[in-house]
Chain A
Amino acid sequence: QVQLVQSGAEVKKPGASAKVSCKASGYIFTGYYVHWVRQAPGQGLEWMGWINPQSGGTKCAQKFQDSVTMTRDTSISTAYMELRRLRSDDTAVYFCARGSPTGGSYYGMHVWGQGTTVTVSS
């Protein structure tokens, strides 16, 4: 079945970087956008950006443009989100989600990963 499996929890010190992976299975990885969404403890959902796995093109929310890098490895159907210069307020659960088809019309985020907790603490 279609699923996204994310990497395990991470604990990082302020100023470090964290890289979360999202492995897709059950569908053609390059056929759909992958979005990244985060949720701080007790807070709502915050969209971070998307990557087009086919072209490698990305789009970030303005807030994350200088601190987030999204990449993919099509050979292993995996998307990555790296967050640099971590601060305590980056402590959150990070989700990946499958979005619209890369060559088709708008579709929403139909499939979500299980989430990866990143804790930033000195």
Chain B
Amino acid sequence: DIVMTQSPLSLSVTPGEPASISCRSSQRLLHSDGHTFLDWYLQKPGQSPQLLIYLVSNRASGVPDRFSGSGSGTDFTLKISRVEAEDVGVYYCMQGLQTRTFGQGTKLEIK
């Protein structure tokens, strides 16, 4: 099974400052169709998860452009250019190459 490892597991950010979350997979996530099957999800307090980014860098509909995803192979990053109060919650990466596996989650708090 593919293991997903996130870091850090928590971060506290001042509004307006940037934030970055790393995700590493135990195997390359490159599919034979040329796409890399890596998503990012945000679960806000008391809510269902929501898709932020799919296929490494594609923002889901309605996701602000302050969110961006990058990476390749086994190393991926989610960046928030300027954190806002509404960004608090737990961020998960997920691989979609072999069944599905989530990372442990990264809790983002506002300072």
Q: Which residue numbers of A lie inside 8 Å of B, CB to CB?
A: 35, 37, 44-47, 49-50, 59, 61-62, 95, 97, 105-110, 112-115
Contact = CB atoms under 8 A, between A and B. Distances in A.
Given A107-B54, A108-B54, A45 B43 contact: yes
A65 B103 CA distance: 21
A106 B35 contact: yes
Contact of B55 (A62, A108, A110, A115): A108
Nearest to A93: B48
B20 interface: no
Contacts of B35: 105-106
A62 B41 contact: no
A57 to B, nearest CB: 14
Nearest to B38: A108
B51 A109 contact: yes
Given A45-B43, A45-B105, A107-B54, A112 B48 contact: yes
A50 B100 CA distance: 9
A41 B90 CA distance: 14
A95 to B, nearest CB: 6
Contacts of A110: 51, 54, 60-61
Nearest to A110: B51
Contacts of B55: 106, 108
A44 B4 CA distance: 12
9 contacts: A44-B92, A45-B43, A45-B92, A46-B102, A47-B94, A106-B37, A108-B39, A108-B60, A115-B48
Interface in B22-54: 31, 33, 35, 37, 39, 41, 43, 48-51, 54
A110 B49 CA distance: 10
A98 B69 CA distance: 21
Contact of B54 (A44, A62, A97, A106): A106
Contacts of B33: 105-106
Contacts of B50: 112
B96 to A, nearest CB: 6
Contacts of B37: 106
B99 A45 contact: no
